[in-house]
Structure 1
Amino acid sequence: MGIALIAVSGCMERLFYHPEAGPTPPPAQGIELVSFASADGTALVGWFIPARSAPQPAPTILHVHGNAGNITSHDWFSAYLPPAGFNVFIFDYRGYGQSAGRATRRRDLIADADAALDVLLARPDVNPGTIGVYGQSLGGGIALNLAAARPEIRSVVTESAFASWRLVAATALGGDPPGFLARVVAWVFIRDHDRPDDAIARIDRPVLVLHGGDDEIVPPSHGRRLGAAGGPGTRFVELPGGRHNSLRESHPQIEGMIIDFFRATLIDAPGPAGHDAIRTDDDDPDG
């Protein structure tokens, strides 16, 4: 019985991942196609997008993307960073895009992100003391686990991330908050190791948690939970009316917020970001 439950749990976990595999269009001119390997030898592919009009080595952001599609459907989430003076490295997990293998376990995806960080640390055009990570949706949870394990990550931004694998599954089944039956089903079939809210509690560097107030996929309660679980360097910002994949449409100021955060934590003297929960638009840099 126990073996059967473990097998079913593994099958259920695959529901978190919706890769689009196969050849992807070549990157635009000036973007480097990078091939590398995860710890188990799985071949992975990423794009290194150099900072514009900035001396190298420049501060660099590792972009850990969401659960569907591949690089080509996620690169726009960080496209504003190279013009602002940051290198960006976005990669495909195993089973996504041109990366080999299959996405079946979260620990494999965390290992893929770990290998991507090692790629950056080995590059002469990357300052190893100025590396941040940006994770959107699923990528937020992966990014938090990476940062908790790797002090080379100097600061973290998550956008629309969930706090618990089991809880987000229960929410998908039974709404927010999930009912008793949804919680039971999630408890039985979804293992909850590598929880993002556990990971953020272990990070002693600045973290910016962004979440839309009307997120239809990962309810804002997850962002609040992450903000509450984080240490003194964690800041939570809830954006009223914001939805899961379209925060920039309703709140274009978040790009400026992220740029300012990474400049403050990677370029200026690093320090605690301050632990506060903000649920207004008062951070609009445009006033």
Structure 2
Amino acid sequence: MIGRSPAMFAWPRGARDEPHGHASLEEIHNREKIIVIWVIVGLLLIPVLADVLIQWHAVRVVLALIENSPPFRIESLPPDPDAEPFSTRTVDGVTLRGCLYRHTEQTPRGLIVFCPEFASNHRSAMLYCSALARAGFHVLTFDFRNHGDSDSMPGYEPLHWLTHYEIIDLNTVINHVYSQPDLTELPLGLFGISRGGGAALYVAAQRPEVLRVATEGAFGTQMLMMAHARHFVPIAAPPMLARLFPDWHICVTITLARWISQRRRHCRYAMLERVLPRLSDKPALVIAGMRDTYVLPEVAHEIARLIGQPDAVWTVAKAKHNLARSVSPEEYDRRLVEFFLPLDEPHSSTAKRSTQGTRKKPE
């Protein structure tokens, strides 16, 4: 044993190195796999991150559009000494004021509650409703909160978008109607302009007492934003890029911007689109201006489609936003009176009494 060579105790050539050689190859393969996985993940994340950045930029743009009111041409009339003033208080403590135009020459055919447009006041009613007053209807109109003679609510800055505050206001006015013995038996119709038209449609869908509803320039928040997006995305982006953004993607952007705006403005935007199908059994008149560049005519057709009354739309050639009567006053008055005249029919009065018996609390 003493005289043996050290080579006798050595490992065979490669015997010790082989396991280490195999381990190194496996480590290399594992590292390559990890690199490939990260490359794939990176390639997948690049479009996601790009979309997030695009989405955030788009949300900021849409948010600015939401919270900046476009200029509207607002008209009004001097106070009418023959109009009866009234006031009523909302459940959240805001006093609303308006007036009642009585038809005194005969028994009234019905009561029309008129809802003014954003930034207008109740004295604009006779710019639209004078034919209804002459035809034998009482017309009751009011100022939404933070408008005209009504109280202002601290912390709320109204815009042209319909919120739950305007819904509260209109429901409060209708409740006031039913507190007046000389008004409660009259068949009820609603007529609204622009944002007021949206309020009229929304509340008509809530309350069975409302038998007919007419609007001019009305719109839903989501549908109006989508209509403008479909027009402006192809203009703002190259056609190939614009095609990469389907409607659902645009809808997500608008929804995110709306949520942010609600939190900033301490209000909830009323989603008119959700309640319109409830109006399928109530006659509606949806007036639109062919030259309305704000509430596009297609919005009126979308309202009628959701209601289930595609023939409810009357589009007035050459009319801009809320100016249909200025373009075609005789036709406007005739259509409006003919639309509300059925309120005076016996079956309408019967329906009115039956709905009063089953009146439900507005949502």
Q: Counterparts of 1:14 and 1:87 in 2: how far apart (Å)?
A: 36
- For residues 126-145 of structure 1, the C-alpha deviation after alignment (integer angstroms, 9 at most, x for no partner) is 25351100011111111111
**Residues 114 and 234 of structure 1, relative CA distance in 2, 3 Å threshold:** farther
Q: Counterparts of 2:117 and 2:299 in 1: how far apart (Å)?
A: 16
Task: Classify the secondary structure of the residue corresponding to 1:202.
Answer: helix
Deviation at 1:52, TM superposition (A): 4.1
Q: Which shows bigger deviation, 207-216 or 132-141?
A: 207-216
Match of 1:255 in 2: 333
Deviation at 1:215, TM superposition (A): 1.1
- Report the identity percentage: 24
Deviation at 1:124, TM superposition (A): 2.5
- Whose strand fraction is larger, Structure 1's or Structure 2's? 1
**Residues 241 and 249 of structure 1, relative CA distance in 2, 3 Å threshold:** same
Task: Classify the secondary structure of the residue corresponding to 2:340.
Answer: helix
Among candidates 286, 290, 304, match of residue 213 of structure 1: 290
Matches within 5 A, 1:158-237: 158-162=215-219, 164-169=220-225, 176=231, 179=234, 186-191=254-259, 194-203=270-279, 204-231=281-308, 235-237=312-314
Deviation at 1:14, TM superposition (A): 5.6
Q: Counterparts of 2:296 and 2:289 in 1: how far apart (Å)?
A: 8
- Whose helix fraction is larger, Structure 1's or Structure 2's? 2
Among candidates 81, 90, 94, match of residue 141 of structure 2: 90
AA at the equivalent of 1:51: H
Q: Counterparts of 2:332 and 2:70 in 1: how far apart (Å)?
A: 26
**Residues 93 and 103 of structure 1, relative CA distance in 2, 3 Å threshold:** farther
What is the number of residues matched between the two proteins? 257
AA at the equivalent of 1:227: A
Task: Classify the secondary structure of the residue corresponding to 2:131.
Answer: coil
Task: Classify the secondary structure of the residue corresponding to 1:128.
Answer: coil
Match of 1:132 in 2: 189
Instruction: Supply the RMSD in Å over aligned alpha carbons.
Output: 3.3
For the 8 Å contact 2:304–2:310, the answer to whether it is kept is no
Q: Structure 1, unaligned stretches of length 5 or more?
A: 1-8, 272-287
- For residues 132-183 of structure 1, the C-alpha deviation after alignment (integer angstroms, 9 at most, x for no partner) is 0001111111111101111111110011111x303424556x5746556986
Task: Classify the secondary structure of the residue corresponding to 1:69.
Answer: coil
Q: Counterparts of 1:270 and 1:90 in 2: how far apart (Å)?
A: 26
For the 8 Å contact 2:194–2:216, the answer to whether it is kept is yes
The two structures have a TM-score, normalised by structure 1, of: 0.77
- For residues 233-259 of structure 1, the C-alpha deviation after alignment (integer angstroms, 9 at most, x for no partner) is 972222222221211122220111010
The two structures have a TM-score, normalised by structure 2, of: 0.62
AA at the equivalent of 2:224: V
Q: Structure 2, unaligned stretches of length 5 or more?
A: 1-61, 235-241, 260-267, 349-363
For the 8 Å contact 1:27–1:33, the answer to whether it is kept is no
